[in-house]
C-alpha cells in the first residue's frame, strides 16, 4: 500500500534505507537547502520520480502544514520474523500509542540496539506519526514481529538467547548485571506489565535502582533508555 510521508527527516530516513519502494518525491520548487539537494539526489539514485510543486499544492496534499516543503510517496513498511541475532534486542508487549513507539525507536536506535521485537500488529495507519516522532529512527532500527508471547519464547529458546525481564520480584539491580553479547531485554508496555509467560522463562529479572523512594514504574521509553545506555556503557567498557 502506498502512503504519503511528510517532512525532510521522514523522507530522508526512508530514502536512505532499503526497506521500501519509493515512487515519487514532491518538493517545494522555491525551497533549496543542502538537505533538499541531498534528498533529491537520494531519490534519483533510487529511480524515484521527483516532482517540483508550488507550496499551496503541497499543503493540499499533506495532512498538515508542517511538512517543510517535502512529501514522499512510498510503500508501507513490511515486518519479518526475527532472525538469529548476534547482539542485544528488546521485546515490548503493550505498546498502543504511536508516539510512544516512535519515542522507543528513537531511544533504542541511539543506544545501539540491534533489534526491536513486537507482537504482531498492523501499524500502517500510524506510520507517518511513528516515523516523525522517532526522528527517522523507526526506519533505521531493525524491527521484527512475532505472533505472541509464546512465539517469542519459542524464538529465544530455539536460538539460545538469554532473556532479562524488567521486573522487580526476585530481581538483580541493573547495575550489577553483566549482559552477554547476545541477549534480549523484555520491557512491559504502558498498559500491561510483563506476562507470566515471559517471567517463567527469564534468565534473570532486573530492576532499575532509583535515587529516592518512588513506588511507580518508569514509562516504557524511559525504561528503554536506562537499559539501553547501561548496555552501551558496558559494551564500551
pLDDT tens string, the chain, 237 residues long: the values are 888 999 999 999 999 988 889 999 999 998 888 999 999 999 999 999 999 999 999 989 988 878 889 999 999 998 999 999 999 999 998 888 999 999 999 999 999 999 999 999 999 889 999 999 999 999 999 999 999 999 999 999 999 999 999 999 999 999 999 999 999 999 987 667 789 999 999 999 999 999 999 988 899 999 999 999 999 999 997
Prediction pTM value: 0.91
* β-bridge partners, 173: 207
Amino acid at each position: 500500500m502506498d502512503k504519503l510521508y511528510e517532512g525532510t527527516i521522514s523522507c530522508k530516513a526512508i530514502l536512505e534505507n532499503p526497506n521500501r519502494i519509493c515512487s515519487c518525491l514532491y518538493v517545494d520548487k522555491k525551497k533549496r537547502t543542502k538537505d533538499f539537494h541531498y534528498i533529491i539526489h537520494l531519490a534519483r539514485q533510487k529511480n524515484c520520480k521527483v516532482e517540483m510543486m508550488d507550496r499551496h499544492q503541497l499543503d493540499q496534499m499533506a495532512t498538515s502544514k508542517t511538512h517543510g516543503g517535502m512529501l514522499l510517496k512510498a510503500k508501507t513498511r513490511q515486518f519479518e520474523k526475527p532472525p538469529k541475532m548476534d547482539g542485544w534486542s528488546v521485546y515490548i508487549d503493550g505498546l498502543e500509542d504511536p508516539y510512544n513507539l516512535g519515542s522507543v525507536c528513537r531511544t533504542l536506535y541511539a543506544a545501539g540496539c540491534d533489534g526491536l521485537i513486537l507482537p504482531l500488529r498492523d501499524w500502517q495507519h500510524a506510520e507517518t506519526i511513528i516515523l516523525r516522532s522517532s526522528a527517522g529512527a523507526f526506519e533505521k532500527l531493525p524491527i521484527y514481529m512475532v505472533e505472541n508471547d509464546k512465539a517469542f519464547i519459542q524464538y529465544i529458546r530455539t536460538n539460545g538467547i538469554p532473556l532479562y525481564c524488567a521486573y522487580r520480584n526476585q530481581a538483580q539491580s541493573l547495575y550489577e548485571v553483566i549482559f552477554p553479547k547476545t541477549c534480549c531485554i523484555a520491557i512491559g508496555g504502558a498498559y500491561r506489565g510483563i506476562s507470566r509467560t515471559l517471567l517463567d522463562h527469564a534468565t534473570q529479572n532486573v530492576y532499575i535502582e532509583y535515587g529516592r523512594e518512588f513506588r511507580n514504574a518508569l514509562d516504557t521509553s524511559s525504561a528503554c533508555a536506562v537499559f539501553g545506555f547501561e548496555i552501551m556503557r558496558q559494551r564500551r567498557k
